[in-house]
Amino acid sequence: MKHHVNFTPGPSQLYFTVADHAREAFRSGIPSLSHRSKTFEDISRETTAGLRELLNIPAGYEMYFTSSATEIWERIIQNLVEEKSTHFVNGSFSKRFYEIAQQLNRRPEKIEAKEGDGFSIVEKFDASELIALTHNETSTGVSLPVDFIHAFKEKNPQALIAVDAVSSLPYPAFDFTKLDSVFFSVQKGFGLPAGLGVWIVNEKCITKAESLLSKGISVGSYHNIPTLRANAVKNQTPETPNVLAIYLLNQVVKDFLRRGAETIRRETEYKAAILYQALQQHALYNSMR
Amino acid sequence: MKHHVNFTPGPSQLYFTVADHAREAFRSGIPSLSHRSKTFEDISRETTAGLRELLNIPAGYEMYFTSSATEIWERIIQNLVEEKSTHFVNGSFSKRFYEIAQQLNRRPEKIEAKEGDGFSIVEKFDASELIALTHNETSTGVSLPVDFIHAFKEKNPQALIAVDAVSSLPYPAFDFTKLDSVFFSVQKGFGLPAGLGVWIVNEKCITKAESLLSKGISVGSYHNIPTLRANAVKNQTPETPNVLAIYLLNQVVKDFLRRGAETIRRETEYKAAILYQALQQHALYNSMR
């Protein structure tokens, strides 16, 4: 099969070190490793410690492995919203997060921008338990400025701020103290095979899930926050996870740390500049202006 | 790392062809393949067609890809049970299925055998919507005879019969007409890396999920049956799935089909005989008798 360079909103090209890491994984028996073994716990611990360093995640924030960011949309609504969430919708991915809240019988509201647009007004949403913002709306490529996202917490101290950073991390330098939950999947900015999502939550999220549970509201089962964290403290997962993907994420995070987060950011900006220039010089782009 | 042969209830040894298939996958760009591409649809179609042939699944049964069998426990309760399910519990896995029903605020009942035992009486459960049987209780190694499992349908025509075949397929020769839902994950009998579950359902399951939905009961979101099947008819998945795992499953199913289901069954019985004999000759086994 010919190798194509793709710009689809689906999986990215693999990061250039991944195929070698995968070969090493198969050589050393990673795919049949027990997820209750010491070796797995070490891999899991290294991965979350590496991500903590790379993304500058402070103490008091935990990290859980899920199967996808799509799953995390569902887990956020189940665990962190009793009745009402507010969704900034400007494309098909942010829209799906809103629809998932409806499917779980909550009463979400949406603030809509037309496709290709972003948002600029930081409003107050007094009745909202959670405000959902998409840093980079994958379907349209529209990014919200990080400062705009950071501004919601001060105006909405009662709400949890949840940020979909699926197609942007590790690029954005978030100030986690202004956010309660951030999540991504590994097949975009980390250049890994699909099949793993990472869900970052703070203590306010944990408290919220526990409070829903104490009211008799179902917060899901094997992937509810109390179960995820009971396993995460042991560097384990509730179910048999995608062990190979966690191993590969660990290796790529180490590669990224060797280069440094700032180098990766400058490289991303440089690649974007090349791409923007190529597009601006293209006949099709100029014919549409 | 030294290669160990393990007998844990976790992931099995990889099937001997898997490492080569994985190398080919990386060579041909499978891990960055879009899950909305024609190539992915072809892989997905081949995989389900292969499984249909290998497991002798009749028309009227659909197959959905999930992240694990643990997830399928949750999806079965969400989609197929309004109030009451009946669980045959004889170990930690069948027990977790029962507990998941509780966590989702249903009122399940359990028929318990002590660890190491199986069941023999085919009862009637008039008030039950779903009867959950574990073909091979991974935590104890106790298998229920296939004929015993098949006998429930006739006595309980109102209930859906759901069979956990996680650590036994492709060995058991099920008569699917006596079962409504069967599920497994790929890291046991298929010898593949963990991170993929396969959920088989018939039309009665689909109708049940639709009926819960029409009553306003949440059946989950991206992995509810209506959403799974809307994607499955296009050989797609609602979310970006573990594409690499689906590709590898397809290759191993092809390998299995070349050998034939009967050959695999005889080989499994032969391997079990070697193992039983070794155990019976072991001093520890004899000291415990």
Residue-wise burial string across B78-101, b where 16 or more C-beta atoms lie within 10 A, e elsewhere = bbbbeebbbbbbbbebbbbbbbbb
Question: What is the predicted ipTM?
Answer: 0.92
**3-state secondary structure (DSSP) of residue A72:** helix
**Which pLDDT belongs to residue B10?**
66
- Tens digit of each residue's pLDDT (9 = 90 or more) over B221-278: 999 999 999 999 999 999 999 999 999 999 999 999 999 999 999 999 998 899 889 9
Task: Residue window 175-194, chain A: list those with CB within 8 Å of chain B.
Answer: 185, 187, 192-194
Using DSSP's 3-state secondary structure scheme, residue A238 falls into: coil
Q: In A81-193, which ranges are continuous DSSP H helix?
A: 92-103, 146-150, 152-155
Interface of B with A in 14-73 (CB under 8 A): 14, 18-19, 22-23, 26-29, 31-37, 67-71, 73
How does pLDDT run across A171-215, given as a tens digit for each residue?
999 999 999 999 999 999 999 999 999 999 999 999 999 999 999
Instruction: Render pLDDT for A204-259 as a digit per residue (tens, 0 to 9).
Output: 999 999 999 999 999 999 999 999 999 999 999 999 999 999 999 999 999 999 99
The pLDDT of residue B150 is above 60: yes
Task: Note whether A195 contacts B: Cβ–Cβ < 8 A.
Answer: yes
Inter-chain CB proximity B244 and A6 less than 8 Å: no
pLDDT at residue A2 tops 60: no
Q: How far are the Cα atoms of A95, A224, A233, A252 from residue A41, in angstroms, in the given order?
A: 36, 20, 10, 18
DSSP track, B166-210: TTTTTSS---GGG-SEEEEETTSTT---SS-EEEEEEHHHHHHHH
pLDDT confidence tier of residue B1, bands split at 50, 70 and 90:
very low
Nearest CB partner across the interface for B239, out of A36, A68, A242: A68
In whole angstroms, what is the distance from residue A259 CA to residue A263 CA? 6
- Residues B44, B248: Cα–Cα separation, whole Å: 11
pTM for the model stands at 0.94
**Is there a contact between A241 and B10 if contact means CB atoms under 8 Å apart?**
no
pLDDT confidence of residue B139: 87
User: In angstroms, how far is the first alpha carbon of chain B from the final one?
Assistant: 37
Partner residue facing A239 (CB), from B3, B70, B103: B70
pLDDT digits (tens, 9 = 90+) for B14-63: 999 999 999 999 999 999 898 989 999 999 999 999 999 999 999 999 99
| pLDDT attached to residue A285 | 79
Nearest-CA distance A130 → chain B (Å): 18
- Residue B36: closest CA among chain A residues belongs to which residue? A10
A99, A240, A245 ranked by CB distance to B185: nearest:
A240
